[in-house]
Amino acid sequence: MAHDLNPVAVLLVTSGTRGNRVLFRYPYLQEIEPEMTVKQATKEVKKNPYAISIAQNLQDGQKAKPLLSSFIKDGVLVGFSNETLANFLIVKSELCGKQFSVQIDDVRFVGYPMSLSNLSRNQQSQQNASRQHNILAVNVVFVLRANLPESVSTCYQELAQQLSVAITCEEKRCEYLTREAKIMLVAYDEASVTGDDDMVSTMRVIVHHSNLAKELQLVFERLVADGQVIFYLNQWVEINFCLPHKIHGLNSLGKNLSLEPIYRCLSYLRPYHGILLTRPEQELLQFLPLDSSPAMTRLIQLTKPVKNLKTLALETDLSITQIYQLVCHMVYWGYAMLIYPLCQSNVYILSPSADTAVNSQLSQEFSMCFHGLQLMQEMARFSFPSHMHDNLDVLSYSSPRLIDQFNQVVVWMLQHRLINQLHTYVNLIPARRKEFSPSSAGSHSNMSSTHSSNSSMQVIEESFLSVLMEDPGTITLDRTTSMSDLASVNSEESTGGQSTAQSITQYTSQHSKSPSQEANSEGSAAEDRKAQWRLQDTLLNELKPQLKQAIVLCPASKNPDDLRLFAKLCPYFNGKHHLEEMMFYENLSRSQLLALLDKFKEVLILCQHEDPATSLL
């Protein structure tokens, strides 16, 4: 359901001492006598459409149809005379200075009426007021299709507001509107004198002579062309507007049209992200207004797809918040997109919204940029998660130029949103204890070679718990608890029915596997173990007891360093933080992190999907 985002028309309406007038209307089209006498039309209203239609009525019903036909014909506003428009687009003074929105059947009028009556005019015009046409209110109105979503019409409403306010401001400063209105009215008068009913030629004359009309025409044409409007009204007041829906090509995504994906992207902005300019640097710099912030220029010049925002902040000597603001601005305007900085370990996949049609315009553009390469083949390569270039490629294309070309291809595809980056997310979900129950021991004992048997695991678990249950004060006193004491505690706690002896042997066998404690004597071993449990307990303090148990069961938790790192990373294991984020914030290398994840793989589940910040999906 692709929407047509373009406005149907732009109108300039004024009300003055000589009544309400539509001063300018673009685009204009000669109407082919849409006039239907009111009497004829009203007859049709009597028909109840739910009554059984009698043959006679059928003809009347068909007559009624043209009255209720669409107001949009071939994308141009039809069916409204200028008088009708002028009458309802000029509102009572109470509604001035507020957003204005009226929908009539399938067209919607959004505008911003401004009252000019309270402007302090100079003496001259005060005197002229009685003789001259004096403008009291003005409204710039965009005519839209009624089926456009709310967020689009809100954007147009903002533009209408900018224009109305700017016109009012210019009127105050140099009577811009009065001057322009005079030109337009002269054109109308001339047309009526010559008896020429042809609105098209009148409008053409107006556009030719009036600067304001030219400006409104430009606004309309820019909106249709690319959705960006930047100019100086009367070479004085800056108007800048963009329709993000159009810039980001959201209507091609085929989803419901809202700005939500863009705002969501921006809300996930983090210092490890990078930006990718969507246009060449020089083009962007030219596009910036004269009074743009020098910080913006510096940012654009220094941006490289391999740098993250933190680096950029250091290089541009700006604070990270400032960088955020600039980046949000650039992303909203479609000058840049968020990416994770390019690196060899990034994994990309074809975007579901990519257009795979064989002879698409995109593929021709691609062939223009990269000679000898076909877009389809590149897309096929990213059908499966792939790195920027495979290691094989590196071997077969030894020349660095080709590698560089591959990188360029990836950048190009990212710019056109053909590929998305996949990230790995981690979730901490332990299996339930039930899994370790003796009944299923057979299936698990051979699975985990580090554990001698499942029953031993249970014992450790329970002894661990028993220590935790003890009062901390007693533990400090109890430093000399012997092995047997502990074992007896175990047996009391244990409900599995294992004999004390068995648990002791398993216990010691387990203990001997931990290299860090091999040097310790038998007596202090238990003490160390307790210390370790206490460490585990404090490290994993935040977690639920169930999770704690499961983590302690992982063999790697015996290694304090591993456990410490694991505990530090625990907050990230909720499926919302990808590996790159953990690496960035915790200053880890990828191999370190992967090794840790592998050690605790029993309680972790990895999942791959797109980063919400870098994908519009």
Partner 1 sequence: MIKCIFLSEFHHTQGPIISHQVPKDYVPKEIFDSIHNFIITKSDLQNRLIIVSSFGLKYVGCPIYINDTKYKRNAFIFNVCFTFEEETDTSPYAPLVKKLANYLTQLEIELEFLSGSGNNERVPQFLKQVLHGLNQEKCCNINMATSCTVHLKLATSIHEPIAVEDHDVPCLIVPRDVMSKHQWDLTTQQVLHYVDGLSHVKKIAAEADVELNLVKANLQNLLYNKFITMVSIFQYSNVYTVTRNINKLIEDNHLQKECIKFVAKSDRSPPEFRDVYMMYCAFTPGTTVKTLCTRQINPHALKIDERKLVQFGLMKGLLRRMQKYPLALPGESVTSRVQPLLPWLDGRHNFDQISCETGISHHELDDKIDADDSIVICWK
Residues that bind partner 1 (CB under 8 A): 1, 38-39, 41-46, 48-51, 67-68, 81, 84, 87-88, 91-92, 94-95, 98-105, 108, 150, 349-352, 354-360, 374, 376-377, 379-380, 383-385, 427, 429-432, 435, 574-576, 605-610, 612, 617
Nearest Cα neighbor of 147 from 356, 29, 3, 334 is 3
**What angle, rounded to 10 degrees, do the helices at 483-493 and 522-539 form?**
50
CA distances from 455 to 131, 262, 444, 603 (A): 104, 53, 11, 19
For residues 246 and 226, the answer to whether their CB atoms sit within 8 Å is yes
In whole angstroms, how close is the CB of 568 to partner 1 at the nearest point?
21
Task: Provide the minimum distance between the beta carbon of 389 and partner 1 in the complex, in angstroms, as a whole number.
Answer: 18
Q: Tokens at residue 531, please?
A: 């210390």
Q: Cβ closer to partner 1: 6 or 353?
A: 353
Distance CA 598, CA 603 (A): 10
What's the min distance (Å) between Cβ of 258 and partner 1?
12
Task: Between 225 and 607, name the residue whose CB sits nearer to partner 1.
Answer: 607
- Output 96 or 596, the one with its CB closest to partner 1: 96
For residues 42, 46, 47, 49, the Cα torsion angle rounded to the nearest 10 degrees is 100
Q: How far is the CB of 404 from partner 1 (least distance, A)?
A: 24
Closer residue to partner 1 (CB): 401 or 432: 432
Rounded to an integer, what distance in angstroms lies between the CA atom of residue 31 and that of residue 12?
Answer: 19
Q: Least distance to partner 1 from the beta carbon of 443, Å?
A: 9
- Shortest spacing between CB 575 and partner 1, in angstroms: 5
Q: Which of 233, 230, 262, 232 is nearest to 246 (CA)?
A: 262
> Of 301, 190, 220, 208, nearest to 27 (Cα)?
220
- C-beta closer to partner 1: residue 159 or 550: 550
Q: Which is nearer to partner 1, 126 or 383 (CB)?
A: 383
Would you put residue 543 in left (φ > 0), alpha (ψ -120 to 50) or beta? beta
What is the spatial distance between Cα 436 and Cα 454, in angstroms, rounded to a whole number?
A: 6
CB of 260 to partner 1, least distance (A): 14
267 three-state secondary structure: helix
DSSP state of 102: E
Alpha carbon distances (Å) from 451 to 447, 448, 456, 506, 534:
9, 6, 8, 10, 22
Shortest reach from residue 284's CB to partner 1, in Å: 30
- Between CA 130 and CA 116 the distance in angstroms is 16
User: In this complex, which beta carbon is closest to partner 1, that of residue 7 or of residue 113?
Assistant: 113
CB of 223 or CB of 550, closer to partner 1: 550
Nearer to partner 1, 177 or 375 (CB): 375
| Alpha-carbon distances of 269 from 128, 183, 266, 321, rounded to whole Å | 58, 50, 5, 11
Instruction: Say if residues 114 and 137 touch (Cβ distance below 8 Å).
Output: yes
- Residue among 323 and 551 whose Cβ is closer to partner 1: 551
Q: Is 23 helix (H, G, I), strand (E, B) or coil?
A: strand
- What's the min distance (Å) between Cβ of 16 and partner 1? 18
Answer whether 401's CB lies under 8 Å from 574's CB: no
- The two beta strands, 72-73 and 19-26, are unpaired
Beta carbon of residue 223, minimum distance to partner 1 (angstroms, whole number): 22
